[in-house]
Amino acid sequence: MRGIRQLAKHLDISIGTVSRALNGKPDVNEETRKRVLAAAEELGYVANQSGRSLRQGTTNVIGLMIESSKETVENADNFFLGLTGGLQSVLSRHKLDLIMLPCPNDEDPQEYLKRMVTRRVVDALIISATQRIDKRIDFLAKAKIPFVALGRSSSGGNYSWIDLDFEGVAASAVDRLVAKGHRRIAIAVPSTDVNLGYIFLDAYRSALERHGIAYDPALVIRAKSSEQGGYQAGDELIRLDPRPTAIILIYELMAIGLYRRMVEAGIVPGRDLAVIGFREEPRARFLQPTLTCFRMSLRDLGAELAETLLATMPAYADFYPGGARNTIWPLELVAGESDAFSLDS
Amino acid sequence: MRGIRQLAKHLDISIGTVSRALNGKPDVNEETRKRVLAAAEELGYVANQSGRSLRQGTTNVIGLMIESSKETVENADNFFLGLTGGLQSVLSRHKLDLIMLPCPNDEDPQEYLKRMVTRRVVDALIISATQRIDKRIDFLAKAKIPFVALGRSSSGGNYSWIDLDFEGVAASAVDRLVAKGHRRIAIAVPSTDVNLGYIFLDAYRSALERHGIAYDPALVIRAKSSEQGGYQAGDELIRLDPRPTAIILIYELMAIGLYRRMVEAGIVPGRDLAVIGFREEPRARFLQPTLTCFRMSLRDLGAELAETLLATMPAYADFYPGGARNTIWPLELVAGESDAFSLDS
């Protein structure tokens, strides 16, 4: 990698002149400027922005921390890639770049985050997959590193977060099913300690109570958030006696595995079992019967995440007034055939 | 973000002592060390590795550049996330971290790469989605930035690359189909300028010629590498007269859309049309009839990419002798039902 010193030496021009030419300063004549730019291209000159950022204390890079777990990978989850377009559309207004920080699945997320912060590759962070108690939040707050969390946590403090409207989804799903005559409604929640599982389950419980249906822990199926998890949830479901007549899934791709297990058992989704999925997913479009699910724009969510983050960064707060804020991100029901039938009572 | 100066002031200890305590030097007494570490935790002290890296000229971070195109996102492509585990397993041996650099889909990949190099967030790069002529390769070679390309290119020079065995896949697919009596074999290739499309098509053509079958450009269907692309390819296929009896797909998820279009047209894959997909994919497992495809380990490929890259980096070359190298990555046939029938002649 050639720096400005080698470039100046090669051209036999002072470093100051080369620097002014590269930075487009007016006090360099046009011919010299062209010579410098041509040599920079030819020699593979690369500006050392690391020196610049050390002086300014900024990198102009924003990090999106994701967990590259086996489940995420096997299920080809497009969620995070889906956010990048929206994030970049906002960050690019301020000449900021986005990088993704994939936490290895055998490493503690907090330790990983600390190391990446120490490496100083980013000015600010978006963290995801928040745990019920998430030490990353305290760490970032103490270290005064601007961040926004995608997902709530019980960890305290006045920090910015955006989370999906799990309450709205659970309530809407229970309401629909009860209206069709269902009373034994199962729910599949994550087997991990991710906070969204708690929120979703609480909301399901409240919605049942609103309809005067007693909460039955036996109908809560803990499963991996994957197609395989959906298959296993289906397996558990058919062994419940009496069998639930409906199931709500926390993760859209579970529906594929669930459908498969139902077909094997001679149970027809949308006729013998009502199914409501979570987020609308291109792949779930191919399911027969079509899945009732909830729509959201990942691009818009990405843009909102970026604006929320910038609002907490002193250099950009003027553009995005309001400071730290918390947003519940709405999802819109997409009615399918999977829960269209009414239960014979 | 608190630095060592604030920490020393808070503790009323010299910066030198704080530094020695933080770095675990033996000439600091145990009590002082504990006090320093507790205060560091309490105040949110973060070591400034950016200063360190400027002196050393390294960041200890490796970048994986990916293109976050609409297609990639909509199809939830797990390819790149699938590589991270293998990459990290090798990089962690040397205390190197991996970050992902998602190139916005409205930006020129070369301009994006140049900017990220200027930001100096990484020591070395893995580039992917190589174009037939790929200016990034010349740029990185000139700038003397260690890199490995995932994908060949016609762009010259002695650089390291790893590419999938498209030739082997195309030859194996054509051989299987010809053995079952097929002569009109269509192929679906990408509609973009990505180099793998050229390589795959050339290999298909050679394999046909080996069997004495004339190459027919009408049987080459250009389609997006997505489920929707598969649907469109299916649409084109059924309008060909006479209709091909077999199709080879360059992208596994195309099979889902293709199957859907066939079912709509009353054509049964695996009975009326032989289908061979590309890479084995968890989701394609759910297709009926099961898809003949090719298996590879993304984790192993990730590890090989990391070792190939480290072999080109002076600081690590001793661990991975051999220097720049080019590897064709094999895939293993997984026979399914989608091409099991023999053609009545």
Per residue in A271-328, pLDDT tens? 999 999 998 877 667 788 999 999 999 999 999 999 999 999 999 999 998 778 899 9
What ipTM does the predicted assembly reach? Answer: 0.79
Any residues with CB less than 8 A from the CB of A100 and at least 6 apart, and which?
A63, A64, A65, A66, A80, A84, B99, B100, B101, B102
Give B35's pLDDT tier (boundaries 50, 70, 90): confident
Q: Do A50 and B227 touch (CB under 8 A)?
A: no
Task: Check residue B181 and give its pLDDT.
Answer: 97
Task: Check residue A52 and give its pLDDT.
Answer: 44
pLDDT surpassing 70 at residue B267: yes
Q: Do B143 and A1 touch (CB under 8 A)?
A: yes
Chain B residues touching A286 at Cβ < 8 A: 227, 256-257, 260
Residue from B298, B312, B330 nearest B89 by CA: B298
Q: Do A120 and B48 touch (CB under 8 A)?
A: yes
Chain B residues touching A97 at Cβ < 8 A: 115-116, 119
pLDDT surpassing 90 at residue B59: no
Chain A residues touching B68 at Cβ < 8 A: 81, 84-85
Two tokens, residue A281: 């997913």
- Which is more confident, A86 or A25? A86
Give B196's pLDDT tier (boundaries 50, 70, 90): confident
B254: nearest CA partner in chain A? A283
Two tokens, residue A235: 């397996």
**C-alpha dihedral over B29, B31, B37, B42, to 10 degrees?**
-150
Chain A residues touching B4 at Cβ < 8 A: none
Q: Which residues of A292-312 are buried (b: 16+ CB within 10 A; e: fewer)?
A: bbbebebbebbbbbbbbbbbb
A123: nearest CA partner in chain B? B1
What does the angle CA B342 – CA B343 – CA B345 come to, to the nearest 5 degrees? 135
- Which is more confident, B44 or B117? B117
Q: Do A76 and B282 touch (CB under 8 A)?
A: yes
Chain A residues touching B52 at Cβ < 8 A: none
Q: Do B50 and A120 touch (CB under 8 A)?
A: yes
Q: Tell me yes or no: is domain A4-47 CATH 1.10.260.40.
A: yes
Q: Do A85 and B74 touch (CB under 8 A)?
A: no
Q: Please name the member of A81, A102, A119 whose beta carbon is closest to the beta carbon of B84.
A: A102
Task: Check residue A45 and give its pLDDT.
Answer: 65
Work out the mean pLDDT of chain A and round it to a whole number.
87
Alpha carbon separation from A300 to A90, A296, A306 (Å, rounded): 10, 8, 10
Q: Please name the member of B46, B78, B118 whose beta carbon is closest to the beta carbon of A76.
A: B78
Nearest-Å Rg of the Cα atoms of chain A is 26
Give A55's pLDDT tier (boundaries 50, 70, 90): very low
Any residues with CB less than 8 A from the CB of B53 and at least 6 apart, and which?
A50, A119, A120, B59, B60
pLDDT surpassing 70 at residue B1: no
Q: Please name the member of A73, A119, A260 whose beta carbon is closest to the beta carbon of B61.
A: A119
Q: Please name the member of A45, A76, A118 whose beta carbon is closest to the beta carbon of B47.
A: A118
Question: How many Cβ pairs closer than 8 A exist between chain A and B?
Answer: 177
A136: nearest CA partner in chain B? B44
pLDDT surpassing 80 at residue B26: no
> Would A4-47 and A166-296 be classified into the same CATH topology?
no
Minimum distance, in Å, between the CA of residue A286 and any CA atom of chain B: 8
Q: Do A99 and B101 touch (CB under 8 A)?
A: yes
Substitution target from A23, A55, A68, A147 for chain B, most B beta carbons within 10 A: A68
Question: What does the pLDDT look like over A194-206, one tens digit per residue?
Answer: 888 999 999 999 9
Which CATH number applies to B57-164+298-329?
3.40.50.2300
- Which is more confident, B28 or A182? A182
For chain A, report the end-to-end CA distance as a whole number of angstroms.
75
Residue A269 has what DSSP assignment? B
What mean pLDDT do residues A73-96 have? 83
For chain B, report the end-to-end CA distance as a whole number of angstroms.
75
Q: Do B121 and A99 touch (CB under 8 A)?
A: yes
Q: Do A73 and B78 touch (CB under 8 A)?
A: yes
Phi, psi at residue A193, to the nearest 5°? -95, 20
pLDDT surpassing 80 at residue A68: no
Q: Which residues of B214-248 are buried (b: 16+ CB within 10 A; e: fewer)?
A: eeeeebebbbbbbbbbbbbbbbebbeeeeebbbbb
Task: Check residue A72 and give its pLDDT.
Answer: 54
Burial of A141 (0-12, 13-18, 19+ CB in 10 A): middle
Substitution target from A23, A50, A88, A300 for chain B, most B beta carbons within 10 A: A50
Two tokens, residue A293: 């699910």
If phi over 0 gives left and psi between -120 and 50 gives alpha, with beta otherwise, what is residue A149? beta
Chain CA centroid to CA A118, Å = 23
- Strand pairing partners for A281? none
- Which is more confident, B25 or B209? B209
Substitution target from B94, B100, B112 for chain A, most A beta carbons within 10 A: B100
Question: What does the pLDDT look like over B107-121, one tens digit per residue?
Answer: 999 999 999 998 888
Q: Please name the member of B2, B105, B144 whose beta carbon is closest to the beta carbon of A44.
A: B144
Minimum distance, in Å, between the CA of residue B336 and any CA atom of chain A: 18
CATH architecture of A166-296: 3-Layer(aba) Sandwich (3.40)
pLDDT surpassing 60 at residue B3: yes
Any residues with CB less than 8 A from the CB of B147 and at least 6 apart, and which?
B124, B125, B126, B127, B137, B140, B159, B160, B309, B312
Chain B residues touching A60 at Cβ < 8 A: 119
A116: nearest CA partner in chain B? B97
Question: What does the pLDDT look like over B62-113, one tens digit per residue?
Answer: 999 998 665 555 554 578 888 999 999 999 999 999 999 999 988 999 999 9
Residue from B134, B194, B208, B207 nearest B164 by CA: B194
B117: nearest CA partner in chain A? A46
- Which is more confident, B25 or A254? A254
Substitution target from A126, A138, A263, A286 for chain B, most B beta carbons within 10 A: A286
Task: Check residue A51 and give its pLDDT.
Answer: 43
Work out the mean pLDDT of chain B and round it to a whole number.
87
pLDDT surpassing 60 at residue B23: yes
pLDDT surpassing 50 at residue B51: no
pLDDT surpassing 70 at residue B56: no
Task: Check residue B98 and give its pLDDT.
Answer: 96
Give B5's pLDDT tier (boundaries 50, 70, 90): confident
Would you kindly state where each structural domain of chain B is located, as residue ranges? Answer: 4-47, 57-164+298-329, 166-296
Give A116's pLDDT tier (boundaries 50, 70, 90): very high
CATH topology of domain A59-164+298-329: Rossmann fold (3.40.50)
- Strand pairing partners for B124? B62
Q: Do B85 and A98 touch (CB under 8 A)?
A: no
Minimum distance, in Å, between the CA of residue B204 and any CA atom of chain A: 28
- Strand pairing partners for B333? B294
Tokens 């103490």 belong to which residue?
Answer: A142
Q: Do B102 and A118 touch (CB under 8 A)?
A: no
Task: Check residue A18 and give its pLDDT.
Answer: 79
pLDDT surpassing 50 at residue A207: yes
Q: Do A104 and B85 touch (CB under 8 A)?
A: yes
pLDDT surpassing 50 at residue B55: no
Chain A residues touching B257 at Cβ < 8 A: 286
Minimum distance, in Å, between the CA of residue B84 and any CA atom of chain A: 7
C-alpha span between B21 and B315 (Å, rounded): 28
* CB A151 within 8 Å of CB A183: no
What mean pLDDT do residues A87-95 have? 94
What 3-state DSSP class applies to A179?
Answer: helix
Q: Please name the member of B81, B99, B141 whose beta carbon is closest to the beta carbon of A73.
A: B81
Phi, psi at residue B78, to the nearest 5°? -95, 5
Task: Check residue B54 and give its pLDDT.
Answer: 44
Helix residue ranges per DSSP H, B180-226 = 195-210
Burial of A41 (0-12, 13-18, 19+ CB in 10 A): exposed
C-alpha span between A212 and A190 (Å, rounded): 25
pLDDT surpassing 50 at residue B224: yes
